[in-house]
Structure 1
Amino acid sequence: MPGAPSPVISVIMPVYNAAPGLTAALDGLWAQRSAPDAPLPPFEVIVVDDGSTDAGPAMLEAAAAREARLRVLHRPHQGIARALNAGLAVARGVYLARMDADDTLHPERLARQAAHLNSAPALHLSATRVRFGGDALKARGFAHFVNWQNGLCAPEAIARQRFRDTPVCHPSVMFRREAVERWGGYADGDFPEDWELWLRWLDAGARMEKLPLYLLSWNDSPARATRADARYRATACNELRALWLARALARANPFHPHVWVLGAGRMARRRLAPLWRRGIRPAAYIDIDPRKIGNRVNNAPVLPRAALPKPGRCRILNALTAHGAAEEAARWLQSAGYGPDDWLLA
């Protein structure tokens, strides 16, 4: 539109057969407003239609005819990573925000995240806490994951726990264009595209922080990629974790290639199996289950906690997966004198 201000924020929303949620998602974007202490900058919305076969493309064209801030890209179906990169390629904003068609955003989200980045020049990405939009009883695992993620706000916590799982909610983020220019956009492969991006950027030194505000409802639909896309299956996540964890350990573990592993259970062994294929070696597994102590796993002994070397004399991977187990072990490590440089969550 002639005379319209250039957008400061570009909201990128890839869609594939997402017609049921489009109207509500777009209405939420047009309802964005300034916060009392944070003006809303000019913004545009780029919806990338990834070859939809439902009513979505026609709905988007009709919406674009009514709203000049909406730009629609129609592409053949090639997957979310390529759709996102197509949106990045045409975005005009200096801040790039994500949104999904099945989520609901707070009316001050864009204003508050832009203010967050404005106030912290060294920050590359702003995320927010999210509300779980689903049945917390039927989806206990996902609800637990959302609660865990919401607890990671400080840059140090996000960086430290990035190998456990994706530390920020993808549709809640806003990041600087500079980050894409320095470290690249989304990779297309057999892995979750968002977690791969965060791991790659954090490995390169990106700084990410989460506002302690609930500015998005992360709705748990059956079609959500984390449920329906094979790239989010456990084996794909384990391979991705191993790639970046091995690189970090090779660079920063003074006892490389050896690590001590908290947790000798089946799930921990499965999660870490790809790590051993990348040259990392378990010195021993530490467990509290007397039935496991004395056994051998991957040619390494299973030992009690008392056998763990003193602080400063080993690098530990906390690989416990049962709800609350990793947190209990973290408290035990702290009480026993192990500091942040002694161990990582994996």
Structure 2
Amino acid sequence: MFFSVVIPTYNRRPILAKCLRALEQQTLAPAGPVTGYEVVLVDDGSTDGTVAWLQANAADFPHLRLFECDHGGAAIARNVGVQQAKGDTIVFIDSDLVILDSFLQHHAERLQTYRQTHGNDRAFTYGRVVNTCNFDRPTAEPFKLTDYSQAFFATGNVAIAKHWLMAAGLFDPQFTQYGWEDLELGVRLKNLGLSLLKCPEAVGYHWHPPFSVEDLPELIDKEIQRARMGLVFYQKHPTFDVRLMIQLTWFHRLLWGLLSGGGTLNERSLAPVLRWLIRSGRPQLSEELSRIFLNWYHVRAVYAAYQEALTKPG
């Protein structure tokens, strides 16, 4: 199999450099299942000089093929990447993911084993994602309980035969804001009968900056975007499972409403506690505490979007 590693990116040049350099260090078995690989990077309208930097350093990335599109979101950028890919097998990772040198080999071996034992390729691999805020040494982070994911199809670390993506119809370009485009595609892949294969040996280290109270306005905006896109997800697949995923239930409304005191515990009232926890060396606890009111913002926004959709004519 020939791998095309598809990566959308938007204004992530510092960590993207680490991501791409790790991809150039892949070790493949001489007689193994992978005949070769390419890196298909789609710049989604970055304004931080990403494209100019890549062009100036092209010699450092011999596997890289660069494409550009107007800023339209990850769904559209990934579709461009898949359509331009030369490989028969697509690997999706994000541009803030740093991988080990055996990453592609592990994905390939797991896929090959399944195909040999089942006589078909109706499955995809899902590797392990470890969250870290260690920019200098992201791969030093241990796996934590909070890194566990129950997602069926998440594009942070997944490998799948290209023809199944084409059969499912690729990512829906309606997902122009943050969230859900990969899980929605996962529903369509599940309907095609595909299975998820866990591949914990294929580890990716997902870097993000350390939590800061100053980031909260952006995080709140992301929750509101995610709520709006969650409704798009539900409109396409109006099932109870999707309602649970996007938190469009009275249980979630009651839970986060009670925990946040109806919104009285928020980014303003909790700011002193959040800052104290960060100064005390507990930024992760501070971030988890903020999830209470972030979830309340999300639930309110998803219900607002739902009510707006109900009142629209037609």
Deviations 1:121-179 (A, max 9, x none): 234311112222249xxxxxxx76532x1xx5xxxxxxxxxxxxx33442210110121
TM-score normalised over the length of structure 1: 0.57
Take 1:197 and 1:39, find their aligned partners in 2: how far apart are those partners?
A: 26
Is residue 77 of structure 2 the alignment partner of residue 83 of structure 1? Answer: yes
Take 2:43 and 2:73, find their aligned partners in 1: how far apart are those partners?
A: 10
Secondary structure of residue in 2 paired with 1:170: coil
Larger radius of gyration: 1
Is residue 192 of structure 2 the alignment partner of residue 204 of structure 1? Answer: yes
Instruction: Give % identity.
Output: 25
Take 2:224 and 2:54, find their aligned partners in 1: how far apart are those partners?
A: 28
**Counterpart residue type for residue 48 of structure 1:** V
Aligned position for 2:251: 265
1:60 to 54, 69, 88: 54
Take 1:63 and 1:42, find their aligned partners in 2: how far apart are those partners?
A: 22
Take 1:120 and 1:243, find their aligned partners in 2: how far apart are those partners?
A: 31
Contact 1:134 1:220 in 2 (8 A): yes
> Does the C-alpha gap of structure 1 residues 114 and 145 become closer, same or farther in structure 2, counting only changes over 3 Å?
same
Contact 1:131 1:214 in 2 (8 A): no
Question: 1:26-37 to 2 correspondence within 5 Å?
Answer: 26-34=20-28
Is residue 158 of structure 2 the alignment partner of residue 173 of structure 1? Answer: yes
- C-alpha displacement of 1:43: 0.5
Take 1:63 and 1:50, find their aligned partners in 2: how far apart are those partners?
A: 19
Gaps of 5+ in 1: 1-6, 136-142, 153-165, 250-262, 271-321, 323-346
Secondary structure of residue in 1 paired with 2:71: coil
Aligned position for 2:126: 127
Take 1:34 and 1:106, find their aligned partners in 2: how far apart are those partners?
A: 12
> Does the C-alpha gap of structure 1 residues 18 and 248 become closer, same or farther in structure 2, counting only changes over 3 Å?
closer
Secondary structure of residue in 2 paired with 1:185: coil
Contact 1:47 1:87 in 2 (8 A): yes
Structure having greater relative contact order (Cα 8 Å, sep ≥ 6): 2
Q: Which has the higher helix share?
A: 2
Question: 1:264-283 to 2 correspondence within 5 Å?
Answer: 265-267=251-253
Take 2:105 and 2:180, find their aligned partners in 1: how far apart are those partners?
A: 28
Aligned position for 2:105: 111
Contact 1:183 1:201 in 2 (8 A): yes
TM-score normalised over the length of structure 2: 0.62
Gaps of 5+ in 2: 116-120, 135-143, 243-248, 257-291, 293-314
Aligned position for 1:218: 206
**Residue range with higher mean Cα deviation, 100-109 or 64-73:** 64-73
Question: 1:140-155 to 2 correspondence within 5 Å?
Answer: 146-147=147-148, 149=149
Secondary structure of residue in 1 paired with 2:239: helix
Instruction: Name the count of aligned residue pairs.
Output: 229
**Counterpart residue type for residue 94 of structure 2:** D
Take 1:187 and 1:65, find their aligned partners in 2: how far apart are those partners?
A: 34
Secondary structure of residue in 1 paired with 2:237: helix
Contact 1:41 1:111 in 2 (8 A): no
- C-alpha displacement of 1:184: 1.4
**Counterpart residue type for residue 265 of structure 1:** F
- C-alpha displacement of 1:62: 2.4
> Does the C-alpha gap of structure 1 residues 37 and 113 become closer, same or farther in structure 2, counting only changes over 3 Å?
farther
> Does the C-alpha gap of structure 1 residues 167 and 134 become closer, same or farther in structure 2, counting only changes over 3 Å?
farther
**Counterpart residue type for residue 203 of structure 1:** N
Aligned position for 1:140: none
